[in-house]
Chains A and B, each alone.
Chain A
């Protein structure tokens, strides 16, 4: 029976390895969240925290963030730039995906390559290029400059998610709508849009998350007035790391989990539908 016990040992070893990898994937988050409630200004667990002493936990770092005008301005900047670039990216990206999915589209793979390029170009190169170009145009250190930059970085996500939804789309539906007398705009609004809505929303959330987490172009073409949350965290990590960063990080984790669950819910909804 040694064969079976070998198999069992192998299986257990395999599961232990997988658990370790899952721990690796989630550990950083598991550590940050409790530490953000540390009453002491330390970045490690105190004895009180380990003993689950309520005195060892506090909301002081959350209060510090909420009262800090710099963090609040960063939040406002992140939201303004995030919403504006998401709106632009979603509109442009959805249109382009509709065109790309049409069988009549000439040079499809070339166009796709061009539209996807901001996603695969190392962001340091994009940011360096934008720095020169936007400075010459007077767009450096302005909101419009950053919004344009973040839109460019966000559009590939919209193109990809919407194209993916459209690949399961039956072209006969648009033809049917047209034969029933609907114009192109009406066909889009009443037939296509409801069907691709999950893809559009997912794409928009991806675009927003991209902008909300983007720091390199902000470093290169943003000025002091355009400091966003990631930029503020960057400064915090580089200059004087304060536990307030952990509070911000925890809030961002909560936000990210929310976005993720919405996108996953949309994906399941889209794929649950019969193709």
Chain B
């Protein structure tokens, strides 16, 4: 009982300051009342609409009145943006209509007046879009995040190829994360072995070299990669001075995918080395000598005796690096340029620039789900409480 009472304050704190915000965000990816609240009457009337022909006059009249009302309440812009996200091009139709409808036509003439303002009002798909934008609870952000769309008939279809953005980006994020994980393993395994088998004093010194980047500010490290890799940077200067490249052949290694991969590998390498090192430290060097004395070549002894024993470390390090890589934001944002952006950068873009918060939340929700699953695997295989820091 006392144990639970000690944990409770922090648990409550994390729930209030961290979990609740995530829950609210996920709520936003599924729930959006803005259009439904702005066009209640129209949406009610549209429910009875057959979905095929142009809706009846009453729908037009209600739509016109509610658009004018929204314009008066200054919410029209937001409503129009929401509808536009369901069907591109409708924003201007809504804004234009509300502007021109001010001299209200007599009753019975709304339909003609609106179609005269923009013929799109005469098309069924416009009204389908309004109806879908008016759903309070919706999966459309998730569909959008997976490059899917709901057909007017109700089925789910893939977006046309030129509009598929997120799945390719998701694939790229997974591929880059996998590549970085392998790169970290390739670079990290040999040095972890070196440290684990060095005499204590030297091991400690080498471990500090691994820890230095771990502790150094991320922004400092990002700055230094810019200084090193940019076209007028240290490495290009060196190559040019050595005559290895001509002045006009300087290599672009930053503000593209190369920059993202190099800087992220640097950031994540310690997370690979440390778990590997903790496992390797417990493997007695005698095993390898025993294998050698029994006639195994180094490669055989390594493959059959050493490598299998390090698998827990390999799994822990790889999972950790992969989990951290798929959610990485800062480095790609600063040194990734156009081609080096990952899914996190798209979340930030929709949060800060396009202001499509529902979509940002859905993308975040998908990413969070992926990380959560991987974390469960990590917890099963390694255990969070066995994580070593620094």
CA of A130 to CA of B20, assembled, Å: 9
The reply to whether A133 and B384 contact each other, CB–CB distance below 8 Å, is no
The reply to whether A117 and B14 contact each other, CB–CB distance below 8 Å, is yes
Is residue A168 within 8 Å, beta carbon to beta carbon, of the partner chain? Answer: no
Known contacts A234-B219, A260-B215; A122/B367 CB under 8 A = yes
Of B52-60, B96-104, B220-228, the one touching chain A: B220-228
Contact string against A for B residues 330-356, beta-carbon threshold 8 Å, 1 for contact and 0 otherwise: 100010000000001001100100000
The reply to whether B334 and A121 contact each other, CB–CB distance below 8 Å, is no
CA of A21 to CA of B206, assembled, Å: 11
Contacts of B137 in A (CB 8 A): none
Q: Which of B28, B215, B364, B387 meets A209, CB within 8 Å?
A: B215
- Name which residue of chain A comes closest to B216, CB basis: A256
Is residue A222 within 8 Å, beta carbon to beta carbon, of the partner chain? Answer: no
Contact string against B for A residues 122-161, beta-carbon threshold 8 Å, 1 for contact and 0 otherwise: 1111101111111010000000000011011001010111
Is residue B81 within 8 Å, beta carbon to beta carbon, of the partner chain? Answer: no
The reply to whether B387 and A18 contact each other, CB–CB distance below 8 Å, is no
CA of A150 to CA of B206, assembled, Å: 31
Contacts of A216 in B (CB 8 A): 329-330
CA of A263 to CA of B389, assembled, Å: 10
The reply to whether B329 and A128 contact each other, CB–CB distance below 8 Å, is no
Q: Which of B7, B13, B22 meets A105, CB within 8 Å?
A: B7
Is residue A68 within 8 Å, beta carbon to beta carbon, of the partner chain? Answer: no
- Name which residue of chain A comes closest to B189, CB basis: A21
Contacts of A233 in B (CB 8 A): 217, 219-220, 223
The reply to whether A230 and B219 contact each other, CB–CB distance below 8 Å, is yes
CA of A149 to CA of B13, assembled, Å: 10
- Name which residue of chain A comes closest to B379, CB basis: A113
The reply to whether B347 and A124 contact each other, CB–CB distance below 8 Å, is yes
Is residue A177 within 8 Å, beta carbon to beta carbon, of the partner chain? Answer: no
Distance of A114 from chain B, by nearest CB (Å): 6
The reply to whether A115 and B191 contact each other, CB–CB distance below 8 Å, is no
- Count contacts on B: residues with CB < 8 A to the other chain: 86
CA of A5 to CA of B266, assembled, Å: 34
Contacts of B191 in A (CB 8 A): 18, 21-22
Contacts of A24 in B (CB 8 A): 187, 266, 269
Distance of B259 from chain A, by nearest CB (Å): 12
Is residue A195 within 8 Å, beta carbon to beta carbon, of the partner chain? Answer: no
The reply to whether B266 and A95 contact each other, CB–CB distance below 8 Å, is no
Q: Which of A100, A125, A148 meets B7, CB within 8 Å?
A: A100
The reply to whether B326 and A122 contact each other, CB–CB distance below 8 Å, is yes
Distance of B141 from chain A, by nearest CB (Å): 13
The reply to whether A148 and B17 contact each other, CB–CB distance below 8 Å, is yes
Q: Which of B4, B206, B211 meets A260, CB within 8 Å?
A: B211
The reply to whether B11 and A116 contact each other, CB–CB distance below 8 Å, is no
Known contacts A25-B213, A44-B234, A152-B14; A206/B390 CB under 8 A = yes
Known contacts A44-B233, A128-B351, A215-B219; A238/B212 CB under 8 A = no
Contacts of A100 in B (CB 8 A): 3, 7
Contacts of B6 in A (CB 8 A): 95-96, 98-99, 102
Is residue A79 within 8 Å, beta carbon to beta carbon, of the partner chain? Answer: no
The reply to whether A95 and B10 contact each other, CB–CB distance below 8 Å, is yes
Q: Which of B5, B228, B347 meets A31, CB within 8 Å?
A: B228
Q: Which of B190, B206, B217, B371 meets A249, CB within 8 Å?
A: B217
CA of A126 to CA of B232, assembled, Å: 36
- Count contacts on A: residues with CB < 8 A to the other chain: 93
Contacts of A263 in B (CB 8 A): 390
Contact string against B for A residues 235-257, beta-carbon threshold 8 Å, 1 for contact and 0 otherwise: 00110010001100100110011
The reply to whether A115 and B219 contact each other, CB–CB distance below 8 Å, is no
Contacts of B188 in A (CB 8 A): 21
Is residue B316 within 8 Å, beta carbon to beta carbon, of the partner chain? Answer: no
Is residue A51 within 8 Å, beta carbon to beta carbon, of the partner chain? Answer: no
The reply to whether B228 and A27 contact each other, CB–CB distance below 8 Å, is yes
Is residue B115 within 8 Å, beta carbon to beta carbon, of the partner chain? Answer: no
The reply to whether A151 and B13 contact each other, CB–CB distance below 8 Å, is yes
Q: Which of A220, A245, A264 meets B351, CB within 8 Å?
A: A220
Distance of A169 from chain B, by nearest CB (Å): 14
The reply to whether B226 and A123 contact each other, CB–CB distance below 8 Å, is no
Is residue B357 within 8 Å, beta carbon to beta carbon, of the partner chain? Answer: yes
CA of A231 to CA of B15, assembled, Å: 27
Contact string against B for A residues 1-38, beta-carbon threshold 8 Å, 1 for contact and 0 otherwise: 00000010010001101100110111111011001000
Known contacts A24-B266, A129-B24; A152/B13 CB under 8 A = yes
Contacts of A35 in B (CB 8 A): 227
Contacts of A113 in B (CB 8 A): 375, 379, 384
Which B residues contact A (CB, under 8 angstroms)? 1-11, 13-15, 17-25, 28, 187-188, 190-191, 194, 206, 208-228, 230, 232-234, 237, 266, 269-270, 298, 323, 326-330, 334, 344, 347-348, 351, 357, 360-361, 364, 367-368, 371, 375, 379, 384-385, 387-390
Which A residues contact B (CB, under 8 angstroms)? 7, 10, 14-15, 17-18, 21-22, 24-29, 31-32, 35, 43-45, 92-93, 95-96, 98-100, 102, 104-106, 109, 111-118, 120-126, 128-134, 136, 148-149, 151-152, 155, 157, 159-161, 163-164, 167, 184, 202, 206, 209, 212-213, 215-216, 220, 230, 233-234, 237-238, 241, 245-246, 249, 252-253, 256-257, 259-260, 263-264
CB-CB nearest 5 A-B residue pairs? A122-B327, A99-B6, A28-B224, A129-B21, A133-B21
> In the complex, given contacts A29-B216, A102-B6, A133-B21, what are 5 additional A-B residue pairs having Cβ atoms less than 8 angstroms apart?
A29-B212, A123-B330, A136-B24, A241-B226, A249-B219
Query: Can you report 18 A-B residue pairs in the complex whose CB atoms are below 8 A from each other?
Result: A21-B269, A26-B212, A96-B6, A98-B6, A99-B5, A102-B6, A105-B3, A106-B4, A112-B385, A128-B347, A129-B22, A129-B364, A133-B25, A160-B384, A161-B389, A213-B217, A215-B219, A253-B220
